[in-house]
Each structure stands twice: as structure tokens, then as C-alpha cells.
Amino acid sequence: MTRPMVDSHRRFLQTMMSNGIIDGSQAEALHKHCCEAAGVNYSQDRLDEFIEVINIHLQPMFMHIRKGMSEDDGLQYYALVNLAETDVTRMSSDYADNELELFRKIMDLVAESENGTASSTDILNCGDALLSKKLKKKETEQVLNKFVQNKWLTEKHGEYSLSTRCIMEMEQYMRTLYQDLIKNCHVCDIIAFQCQMCENPDCGIRMHLPCVARYFRGRSDPHCPACNEFWPHEIPEIHRPLASQSQPSSAKENTAPRSTPSTSQTRRSSRRL
């Protein structure tokens, strides 16, 4: 017995399609908004149930709204992911062959790294060694910017990492591709890229930075939760979730310009002005 979708679900889905990914508090506000707009009953604690109804109907289309965690702030996010092909070919309509090859190389670098990042220097060198068509330094920089703008990568101090949305979409693909190189976080059991690693070679567990911060909070003498070896890394500051994550509501009818990057194939660009 499947519950039918009504306009509240459709509005939620359309918003997911145009944004690709939203954070947990945005999802809550959106849930409320969609129920009120459609004049249906709203209960705060039913968000996951609400999304499940959408997911059941999305399943035949090989699409899914998935819940995930950001490796930067440890917050929860919801992303609309495409299960049809779990390959980077998903990005293909937006990128040229050599750009896709570069992206695969970046994924290689990230998967092989200890902390889930790839330096811009290493990436620039990759651009020079592409088989499909070499990229000049300048071109590689432009492509990198495009990846960041389209929310596939994030950049901090010249270090690139996979965005939350990228990880949520590509998780299965990367597990198949990199197998043992991919490990889950010891604390939250979610796939971990940007993380700290236990330096005991027999242990080597990984923990997300926000998970490390939470786990070792208030401990002056941190030890590995698995092997009890001393934890030699600097403990990051705990992220304080902002009181309100939602964007300021836009002017009536969205006539005010706002720039939001958009790529994912299933995302919809401007609709109804």
C-alpha cells in the first residue's frame, strides 16, 4: 500500500530538484512551507516519513532523496541523488571528456590521500597528463572553479575535497572503484574522506573531523577509541550549528537576482518567474 503523493510532496521534490542539496534545517522549514501551501496537515516530527512517500514514487525513476552528513560541519543534509548510473557519466552533459577525466583523477587523489583532500599543485599536474586532451594550467584552474561552483568540490586554502553532494551521489561508485581504500568513520559509520586517521599501523581507523571534535570534547589526553593508542592529531574546534540555517526569504516572486549554482542533470532551472 503506497501513500499517494499530493501537492506538498511535489513542491518539496521540485525544490529539491532545483537546489540539489539542502541542509537539515532548510528541509524542516521547507516541509512546513509545503504542507501549509497545500493546506495539508503538518507535523514537525514527520519529515522522514514525508520524504519516504516521495522516495517510493521516485524509485521507478531511479532517483532518491538521501540523507547524509557534511564532512565540514557535521550537519545533516538532504540531497536528491540519481541512482540510474552511479558513474561520473552523470555529470557528462555539463562537462567535456577531458574535464571528466580530470575529475576522476581528483577522485583518485582524494581516495589515496590520508585526509581526503587533493592539493591544487597535484591536480594541476594531472591536467598535464590527461589521455583524452591535455589541459593547460590556466584551463585546469577554470575547470576546478567550475567543479566548485557546481558543488562537486569544495576548496579551502588550495586543498580540494569532495563536496557533501558529491559524496552522497558517488558513494556507491567510489566503493566499487576504490574498495579497500574507502573506509567508514569509526564514530558515525558513514563513509569518510576528510578525516583523521589512527597512526597505529595495525589499527588505522578513521574519524570525520566533526566526529573527532565531538568525541574528544573536553578530554586533554585523547586516545584512539579502537586501539587506545595516543591520538596524535590536533583536535578540531567543535562546530556550533547556527541558530538558523535558512536563507533569508527572497523578495516576492524571486525577481531579486540571486546566484545559485546549478548543474545536476535532474535539477530544474528557473521555473515560473
Phi first, then psi, for residue 69 (nearest 5°) are -120, 145
239 binds another protein (CB under 8 A): no
Measured CA to CA, the distance from residue 178 to residue 182 in angstroms comes to 6
**81 lies in the site for another protein, by CB under 8 A:** no
Q: How close are the terminal C-alpha atoms of the chain, in Å?
A: 37
Shortest CB 43 distance to another protein, Å: 17
**DSSP secondary structure, 49-88, as one string:** HHHHHHHHHHGGGTEEEEEEE-TTT--EEEEEEE-S--SG
**Residue 109 near residue 101 (C-beta atoms within 8 A):** no
Q: Given the rule CB under 8 A, which of 57-65, 116-124, 138-146, 232-240 is the region that contacts another protein?
A: 57-65
H or E element, residue 243: none
Q: Is 249 in the site for another protein (CB under 8 A)?
A: yes
In the complex, what is the shortest distance from the CB of residue 39 to another protein, in angstroms, rounded to a whole number? 12
Q: Judged by CB under 8 A, does residue 256 bind another protein?
A: yes
Regarding 32 and contact with another protein (CB under 8 A), the answer is yes
Nearer to another protein, 82 or 119 (CB): 82
Q: Which is nearer to another protein, 93 or 179 (CB)?
A: 93
Q: Chain centroid to CA 217: how far?
A: 25
| Minimum CB distance to another protein, residue 187 (Å) | 29
Rounded CA-CA distance 38/181 in Å is 46
Distance of closest approach, residue 124 Cβ to another protein, in angstroms: 27
Chain residues 90-129 in contact with another protein, contact rule CB under 8 A: 93
Q: Is 26 in the site for another protein (CB under 8 A)?
A: yes
Decide if 229 contacts 223 (C-beta within 8 A).
yes
- When asked if residue 265 is in the footprint of another protein (CB under 8 A), the reply is yes
Contact string 189-228 vs another protein (x = CB under 8 A): ----------------------------------------
Residue with Cβ nearer another protein (63 or 191): 63
- Pairwise CA distance, residues 203 & 226, whole Å: 7
- Provide the minimum distance between the beta carbon of 46 and another protein in the complex, in angstroms, as a whole number: 17
| CB contact burial 76-87 (16+ within 10 A = b; e otherwise) | ebbbbbeeeebe
Tell me the sheet residues that pair with 196. 207
Residue 149 touching another protein (CB under 8 A)? no
Least distance between another protein and beta carbon 83 (Å): 10
Q: What's the count of helices (H) and strands (E) in the chain, helices before strands? A: 8, 10
Nearest CA among 133, 103, 100, 135 for reference residue 118 = 103
The stretch among 16-24, 117-125, 167-175, 186-194 that binds another protein (CB under 8 A) is: 16-24
Residues in touch with another protein (CB under 8 A): 4-5, 7, 10-11, 13-15, 17-19, 22, 26, 29-30, 32-33, 37, 57-58, 60-62, 82, 84, 93, 246-247, 249-250, 252-260, 262, 265-273
